[in-house]
Homo-oligomer: A and B are copies of this chain.
Amino acid sequence: MRNIAAKELKSASLPQLNGICEEIRAEILRTVSSNGGHLASNLGAVELTVALHRVFDFPRDRLVFDVGHQCYTHKLLSGRAGRFSTLRRRNGLSGFPKREESEYDSYDTGHAGTAISAALGLAKARDLKGEDHCVIALVGDGSFQNGLVYEALNSLASLNTSVLIVLNDNGMSISPTEGGMHDLLEELKGEKETDRSVRLFERFGLRYAGICNGNRLEELLPALEEAKRELDKGSALLHVCTRKGYGNSFCENAPVETHGVGRVCMQEYSAALGEELVALAEKDERIVAVTAAMTDSLGLRAFFDRFPERAFDVGICEEHACVLASALAAGGMKPYFAIYSTFLQRAFDEIIHDVCGQKLPVVFCVDRAGITGADGETHQGVFDLSYLSLIPDLAIAIPGNIGEFRSMVRMAAKFPGPIAIRYPRGGLEGSACEIEFGKFHILHSTSSDIVVLAAGETSLALAEKVRLRSIKTGRDFTIVNVRFLKPLDREMLTALPQRHVVTIEDNVLCGGLGDAVRRFYGNCGKQIYSFGYRDEFIPHGEPRELSEEYGRSASDLETLISEIFDACR
């Protein structure tokens, strides 16, 4: 698409602006169709973003997104149209706001709930420096469930500054929104009892600047102009109602399914989780499932349909979800709390303080672990082995394929303490097999002096790939499937005769499997080599490429194997 200059946008007539919206919509559809990405959320926010660019002066004024699932139009309007076809590709445009990418991106996002806090910080910095630009937080109603938003609203009055909060209310996060705040917003839309609801925001020092249809520029433009004029009176909230997927009938009718569009849709681990949990729950009344606004992508729809009383989707509230799961366990239930690796970071303190501190039998189903790819830095699940293994009393299981995963999900039902099972997106089938708690499994045994300890299916695949190459030159090695990071299989580790031990994990090196093995062996004379990710944030790109590039190179592993063989000769 062509770059549209600010000048053109500022001087365009209403029909011309609507034409620009259509251009943008077509470009988003075209690019997401080929590159994957967030579709319905972006389509719904085209007019709103065009209106913001018309009314405000970016980058002088600052626009902070929440999550960032609606930033494509902003990218197209800020000089990045020419590169838009590189969206979500290695070295191309990120699917999220990125300060490194453009001065139009004021603040990086990816996780929910940060925008108002961030806007307040930018606004206070502006005030302290004596500057006078506007700061706008664009927040979806899904994020309004998140505790961070409330913490920001609660401190807004005492911060004594001025930000404009634009609430993009499409009635959904990824799935339809629920909860008290949602009911309040619905009430505002219904225009009954408006006065009282408005006062809720006013109590938090926030003027309610009205409500408008966010897919109609003729309503949006005057509302934003008015809100901008009034900003010197203090912070305000403009309530903008948009339709997710607007302008594309397919997306409008299937907003959940078209929220995110990936090139690989089936997530086999997630599907297996759903099947196993339903089967377990049929026999065991203690089984309950907890999620934070991710029911479908975690594979739990069937469970929610079959056992609505025992299924809890609390919205984008990872901390509350974790404490709720913890207390359900304290009350005698057996909760499976399913969540993406990167979002579980939000509940780090609650895993320690609520679950493990009380040794409560919560099962953490840590999905999308490892490099997840096109969503980039904020969505890679490469820290969980480290931040989980430092927590006392937490067991950590890592399936090597879906068959093992199924066994682990079943085993966890009988496990008396907290346990995390971490697994990647995608998934290799594998026959169901008996898993013994805390035991590794020797996949391939040789008499050479090298053993590779690999955790998880991408690590096992890497080991196997290199072995198949190496055996061509007569260099074979033992491969062990590290099914548990905690507890380690001390018995097997002690018995392994090989002097050279290679570890492979789909996680940063710091605090992961390699460190645990090195700590275990201490000074017993083993030579230990670790493959995992370097101490850097990993950007968006193809998972396999990124894995190679950020520390798990097959050729490096092959070279290492050769060198060890040659040195042993």
A residues whose Cβ falls under 8 Å from a Cβ of B: 64, 99, 106-108, 110-111, 113-114, 117-126, 128-129, 145-159, 178-181, 183-184, 187, 196-197, 199-200, 203-205, 285, 288, 309-310, 312, 314-315, 317, 319-320, 323-333, 345-346, 348-350, 352-354, 356-358, 377-378, 383, 386-387, 389-393, 508-511, 514-516, 518-519, 522-523, 527-530, 535-537
Compute how far the CA of A344 lies from the CA of B389 in the bound complex, rounded to whole angstroms: 18
A515 contact set on B, CB distance < 8 A:
510-511, 515, 518-519
A205 contact set on B, CB distance < 8 A:
180
Return the chain B residue nearest A350 by Cβ.
B114
Return the chain B residue nearest A534 by Cβ.
B392
Compute how far the CA of A107 lies from the CA of B357 in the bound complex, rounded to whole angstroms: 10
Would you call A124 and B328 a contact (CB within 8 A)? yes
Name the residue among A121, A199, A323, A510 with the largest chain B CB count within 10 angstroms. A121
Compute how far the CA of A550 lies from the CA of B348 in the bound complex, rounded to whole angstroms: 23
| Interface SS, A side | helix
Compute how far the CA of A237 lies from the CA of B374 in the bound complex, rounded to whole angstroms: 45
Min CB distance A139 to B, Å, is 13
Copies in the complex: 2
A106 contact set on B, CB distance < 8 A:
330
A323 contact set on B, CB distance < 8 A:
114, 117-118, 121, 148, 152
A-B contact pairs, 17 of them (CB 8 A): A107-B330, A108-B353, A118-B324, A118-B326, A118-B354, A122-B328, A146-B147, A154-B315, A155-B315, A157-B180, A180-B203, A180-B204, A357-B377, A510-B519, A515-B518, A523-B527, A523-B528
**What 10 pairs between A and B have smallest CB-CB spacing?**
A147-B147, A125-B331, A121-B327, A511-B511, A180-B204, A150-B150, A151-B320, A117-B323, A345-B349, A151-B317
A123 contact set on B, CB distance < 8 A:
331
A119 contact set on B, CB distance < 8 A:
327
A149 contact set on B, CB distance < 8 A:
147
Q: A154-B181, A332-B125 are in contact. Are A378 and B357 (CB under 8 A)?
A: yes
Compute how far the CA of A158 lies from the CA of B175 in the bound complex, rounded to whole angstroms: 15
Q: A155-B315, A317-B154, A508-B390 are in contact. Are A108 and B203 (CB under 8 A)?
A: no
Return the chain B residue nearest A353 by Cβ.
B111
Min CB distance A360 to B, Å, is 9
Return the chain B residue nearest A530 by Cβ.
B519
Min CB distance A461 to B, Å, is 24
A390 contact set on B, CB distance < 8 A:
383, 386-387, 508, 510-511
Would you call B353 and A110 a contact (CB within 8 A)? yes
Compute how far the CA of A110 lies from the CA of B352 in the bound complex, rounded to whole angstroms: 11
Compute how far the CA of A522 lies from the CA of B530 in the bound complex, rounded to whole angstroms: 9
Return the chain B residue nearest A391 by Cβ.
B383
Q: A147-B147, A314-B151, A324-B120 are in contact. Are A353 and B345 (CB under 8 A)?
A: yes
